[in-house]
Chains A and B, each alone.
Chain A
Amino acid sequence: MTAKKDISETTITKKMLAKKTNDAWILRLYVAGQTPKSITAFRNLKAICEEQLKGKYQIEVIDLIKNPQLCREDQILAIPTLVRKLPAPVRKIIGDLSNTDRVLVGLDLKGLHS
C-alpha cells in the first residue's frame, strides 16, 4: 500500500505532446487494482517512454476493477495489458513489461534506435 503512487487515478495523463500530433503515442495500461504487477508495469512503462518517446506520449491507466465494462470493449484478458492505441495498428503487450527488449518489439520501437 505504501508503494502506491499516483497511479490510483483512473487516468494519468502525461500531456507532453509533441508539436506534431501525428507523432503522438497514446498508450493505455490496463490494470486491476494496485497489484505489485501493475505497479511494476507502470514503472517500467514510464521508464521506457521517458527514454524512447520523451515528450510525445500519453499514458492512460485504466483500472478494470473500477471500469469492468472496458474489459469487453478492449478485449482484455491478461493483466497487465498495455495497448498501443496510436499510432495504428493497435498492438497489445501483456505482462509487467520487465522485458524491455520485448516491450520495444511490441511497441514497434525497436527500429527507431538500432
Chain B
Amino acid sequence: MDTQKIPSPTLTLPKSLTGIQGLDEITGGGIPKGRPTLVCGSAGCGKTLFAMEFLVHGAMLYDEPGVFFAFEETEKDLAINVVSLGYDLDKLVAEKKIVLDHIHIERKEIEETGEYDLEGLFIRLNYAIDSIGAKRVVLDTIETLFSGLPNPLILRSELRRLFRWLKEKGVTAIVTGERGEGTLTRQGLEEYVSDCVIVLDHRVTEQSSTRRLRIVKYRGSTHGTNEYPFIIEENGFSVLPITSIGLDHTVLSERISSGIPRLDTMLDNKGYYRGSIVLVSGTAGVGKSSLAACFSDAACARGEQVLYFALEESPQQIMRNMRSIGIDLDQWEKRGLLMFHAKRPTFYGLESYLTAMHKAVNDFKPRVVVIDPLSSFIIGTNQFEAKSMIMRMVDFLKINPITVFMTHLTTGVNDFTGIDISSLIDTWLLLRDIEIGGERNRGMYILKSRGMAHSNQIREFRLTEHGVELLDVYVGPEGVLTGSSRITKEAQEKAGQLLRSQEIENKQLALERKRKAINAQIDFLKAEFDAEEVETLNDIELNKLRENLLLQDRIDMARNRKGDIITNKNSINKARGNIAKS
C-alpha cells in the first residue's frame, strides 16, 4: 500500500523552494524538505532575512505556512525590519499564514535548581506549528539559549532531541547560528544539523563589502559549491548569478541608429537592435564615451529618454567634453530627455549601486541606458561579483526592454573582456589604438553583432569637431595603416597610380609610333616594288619586242635567202601574239 509512495532511488531528495532569487538554482530546488537546515554566519550577514524570506515566500507563494521563533528580536521588531522589503507580516499573521513567536530568555531571571529539559520549547513549537498547520519553521538564533540557560550539557542533548523532533514532525526548518572561531557556529550546531549547511559571509576586501553565500554541505544532493555573491536589495535577498530569469524576455527586431551613419552602415545598414546590449571596449582614450554620447544624442533626437550612468565623470564634464566634438547633450538634459546618474560604485558598494540603478531605471523609465564605464564596477578583485551584478542588471534591463550601451575600459590590446561578460553582449564594438609611424590612431571594428550581417572591416575612427567619423583604413600588403601613414600611403598610392598610367600611355604611344613606322616602311617597300615592277615589265616588254624584231628579221632574212621557215612557224606565231599583246 505504502510502497507506491516510496520514491524510486533515482529520484532526488524532496526539496523545498526558498523563493530566494538564485538560491533555488544553486541548490537545484531549494533546501531539503522536512529536514533542518543550518544557516550560519557572522553578525549582520543576513541570516534573519534569509530565514524570514524563506518563511514569507513559503506562506505567500508556496502555500506553506510557517512559524518563526525569534530568540533575539521581538515580533514587533521583526515585522518592522521586513516592511522595507514589502512584506506585511502583521497581515500574514492575521491570515494565520505565519506565527511569530519571540522567545525571551533573561539569564538573571533564571535560577537553575536541578535537572530540567526543554519540553516547554517543544510544546510551544508544537503548538505553534499545529495552530496553523505550518510546514516551515525558523529558529533564529537558537544559540541564544546557551547564553540564557545554564548547563550546556543539558542544552546540547536537548538540541539534538529538538532537531530529531523537527525531522519527525516533517517540517522544513531553518536554524540560524552565529559564526564561531574556527567552527561554523559558536556552539557547534553543525554537529546536530547535518543535512544542509549554508554559510553566509559578509566581508570587506579593499574597502568594498561583498556578501557571499556558500553551501558547505547538502546531504543527498548535488549543489553548487562555489561561494556565490549575494545582495540584499529592495526586493530582498538575491543570490547571484541568476540564470533562470531573463531568458524569456521579448525580443524586438526594431533597429535604432547608433548616431554615426557610417557605423549604421557597418551594422547591416540599420544600426543596433532595440533592447540589445551594446558594449564598446577599448583602452584609455580611444573614444568610448564619445560613442556613448553619439548614441545618447541620437536616441534623444528620436525623442527617447536616456539614462546615463556616469561612473567616473561628472555630468558637466561629460557635456563639456562632448561639446568639443560637436555633440550638444545639454539641450537634451534641459528638455528632460537625458538624465545623468553620476555616482561611483565605490561610494555605495556594488550591492547598493545595483539597488540605486534599479530605482533610477524604475523612476525615469528610460528606453536607453548608458553605463560608462563598466570597468568601474571592478574594485580590487571582485570580478566575480561584478560580473554577476552586471548580469543581473543586464537581465533586468533586457526584460524591460531597454537598449543598453556600456563602455568598458580594457588594459591591453588582447584584453578583450576584462570581466568575462561576452556572452551577455549582443553587439560588441572594439576600439583600439593603432600605433604606426610615431603616431597613435584609433581603429574600430565590430567584434560581434548578433543577428545581423555586419561589416568585418576595420575603420579608422576619428573624433572631429563635428562628431565622430569613420574612415576606411588603408589595408594593403604592408598591413593596416591609419592616420598620416594612411594619408602618405594613399598619396604614394596615388602617385604610383599616376606613374603607372603614364607608363601605359607611353607604351601605347610607342606602339602607335612603331605601327606608323612599320606602315611607312610597308608603303615605301610597296612603292619601291611598284616602281621595280613597272621597270621590270617594261624591260620584259622591251626584250620581247626585241626578240620579236629579231625573229622578224630572221624571217625576213630567210625569206630573202629562200630558206626553210616552216619548222619555226610556232615560235613566229608566238612572237606575233606577244607583239599584239603588248
Contact A95 B123 (CB under 8 A): no
Contact with A92, one of B109, B118, B122, B126 (Cβ below 8 angstroms): B109
Contact with A68, one of B109, B116, B118, B123 (Cβ below 8 angstroms): B123
- Chain A: interface size category: 35 or more
Contact A96 B114 (CB under 8 A): yes
Q: Could you say which residues of chain B place their CB within 8 Å of the CB of A90? A: 109
Contact B111 A106 (CB under 8 A): yes
Q: Could you say which residues of chain B place their CB within 8 Å of the CB of A98? A: 113-115
Contact with B along A82-101 (1 / 0, CB 8 A): 10000000111111111100
CB closest residue in chain B, given A80? B116
Taken together as a complex, chains A and B put the C-alpha atoms of A103 and B112 apart, in Å, by: 8
* Interface-side segment among B13-21, B100-108, B475-483: B100-108
Contact A93 B111 (CB under 8 A): yes
Taken together as a complex, chains A and B put the C-alpha atoms of A94 and B111 apart, in Å, by: 6
Contact A95 B115 (CB under 8 A): yes
Taken together as a complex, chains A and B put the C-alpha atoms of A71 and B127 apart, in Å, by: 9
| Residues A77 and B114 in contact in the complex (CB < 8 Å), given A32-B120, A71-B124 | no
- Cβ of A46 under 8 Å from chain B: no
Contact B120 A79 (CB under 8 A): yes
CB distance from A113 to the nearest CB of B (A): 17
CB distance from B139 to the nearest CB of A (A): 12
CB distance from B451 to the nearest CB of A (A): 61
Contact with B116, one of A72, A75, A79, A105 (Cβ below 8 angstroms): A79
Contact B121 A91 (CB under 8 A): no
Contact with B118, one of A78, A96, A106 (Cβ below 8 angstroms): A78
Contact with A102, one of B112, B118, B120, B121 (Cβ below 8 angstroms): B112
- Cβ of A18 under 8 Å from chain B: no
Q: How many residues of B contact A (CB 8 A)?
A: 25
Contact B113 A81 (CB under 8 A): no
Contact B117 A78 (CB under 8 A): yes
Q: Could you say which residues of chain B place their CB within 8 Å of the CB of A26? A: none
Contact B115 A37 (CB under 8 A): yes
- Cβ of B110 under 8 Å from chain A: yes
- Cβ of B579 under 8 Å from chain A: no
Contact with A71, one of B104, B114, B120 (Cβ below 8 angstroms): B120
- Cβ of A64 under 8 Å from chain B: yes
Contact A64 B120 (CB under 8 A): yes
CB distance from A31 to the nearest CB of B (A): 9
CB distance from A81 to the nearest CB of B (A): 7
Instruction: Give the residues from 77 to 115 in chain B that come closer than 8 angstroms, CB to CB, to chain A.
Output: 101, 103-105, 109-115
Taken together as a complex, chains A and B put the C-alpha atoms of A91 and B113 apart, in Å, by: 13
- Cβ of B119 under 8 Å from chain A: yes
Q: Could you say which residues of chain B place their CB within 8 Å of the CB of A97? A: 113-114
Q: Which of B110, B111, B118 neighbours the largest number of chain A CB atoms within 10 Å of its CB?
A: B111
- Cβ of A30 under 8 Å from chain B: yes
Taken together as a complex, chains A and B put the C-alpha atoms of A61 and B271 apart, in Å, by: 83
Taken together as a complex, chains A and B put the C-alpha atoms of A41 and B116 apart, in Å, by: 10
Contact with A along B398-437 (1 / 0, CB 8 A): 0000000000000000000000000000000000000000
- Cβ of B149 under 8 Å from chain A: yes
Q: Could you say which residues of chain A place their CB within 8 Å of the CB of B121? A: 71, 77-78
Contact A77 B109 (CB under 8 A): no
Taken together as a complex, chains A and B put the C-alpha atoms of A69 and B99 apart, in Å, by: 13
CB closest residue in chain B, given A78? B116
- Cβ of B145 under 8 Å from chain A: yes
Taken together as a complex, chains A and B put the C-alpha atoms of A45 and B109 apart, in Å, by: 18
Instruction: Give the residues from 32 to 87 in chain A that come closer than 8 angstroms, CB to CB, to chain B.
Output: 32, 35, 37, 40-41, 44, 64-65, 68-69, 71-72, 75-82
Contact with A72, one of B101, B112, B122, B149 (Cβ below 8 angstroms): B101
| Residues A75 and B103 in contact in the complex (CB < 8 Å), given A32-B123, A64-B120, A65-B123 | yes
Contact A37 B117 (CB under 8 A): yes
Taken together as a complex, chains A and B put the C-alpha atoms of A93 and B115 apart, in Å, by: 11
Contact A105 B123 (CB under 8 A): no
CB distance from A24 to the nearest CB of B (A): 21
Contact A77 B124 (CB under 8 A): yes
CB distance from A73 to the nearest CB of B (A): 10
Q: Could you say which residues of chain B place their CB within 8 Å of the CB of A78? A: 116-121, 149
Q: Which of A37, A75, A103, A105 neighbours the largest number of chain B CB atoms within 10 Å of its CB?
A: A75
Taken together as a complex, chains A and B put the C-alpha atoms of A68 and B145 apart, in Å, by: 20
Q: Could you say which residues of chain A place their CB within 8 Å of the CB of B126? A: 68
Contact A77 B111 (CB under 8 A): no
CB distance from A4 to the nearest CB of B (A): 17
Contact A93 B110 (CB under 8 A): yes
CB closest residue in chain A, given B104? A75
CB distance from B121 to the nearest CB of A (A): 5
| Residues A77 and B145 in contact in the complex (CB < 8 Å), given A68-B127, A72-B124 | yes
Q: Could you say which residues of chain B place their CB within 8 Å of the CB of A40? A: 114
Contact B123 A94 (CB under 8 A): no
Taken together as a complex, chains A and B put the C-alpha atoms of A25 and B414 apart, in Å, by: 85
Contact A94 B149 (CB under 8 A): yes
| Residues A79 and B113 in contact in the complex (CB < 8 Å), given A68-B123, A68-B126, A72-B101 | no
Contact A95 B120 (CB under 8 A): no
| Residues A93 and B113 in contact in the complex (CB < 8 Å), given A75-B104, A79-B118 | yes
CB distance from A91 to the nearest CB of B (A): 6
Taken together as a complex, chains A and B put the C-alpha atoms of A79 and B113 apart, in Å, by: 12
Taken together as a complex, chains A and B put the C-alpha atoms of A69 and B120 apart, in Å, by: 11
Taken together as a complex, chains A and B put the C-alpha atoms of A76 and B109 apart, in Å, by: 12
Contact A81 B114 (CB under 8 A): no
Contact with A along B122-154 (1 / 0, CB 8 A): 111011100000000000000001000100000
CB distance from B382 to the nearest CB of A (A): 43
CB distance from A75 to the nearest CB of B (A): 5
CB distance from A76 to the nearest CB of B (A): 4
Contact B110 A92 (CB under 8 A): yes
**What are 13 pairs between A and B in contact, CB < 8 Å?**
A32-B120, A68-B123, A68-B126, A71-B123, A72-B124, A77-B103, A77-B105, A77-B120, A77-B145, A79-B123, A82-B113, A92-B110, A94-B111
User: What 9 new A-B contacts, CB under 8 Å, besides A37-B117, A75-B104, A93-B110?
Assistant: A40-B114, A69-B127, A75-B105, A76-B120, A77-B118, A91-B109, A94-B112, A94-B113, A102-B114
Residues of A within 8 A of B (CB): 30, 32, 35, 37, 40-41, 44, 64-65, 68-69, 71-72, 75-82, 90-99, 102-103, 105-106
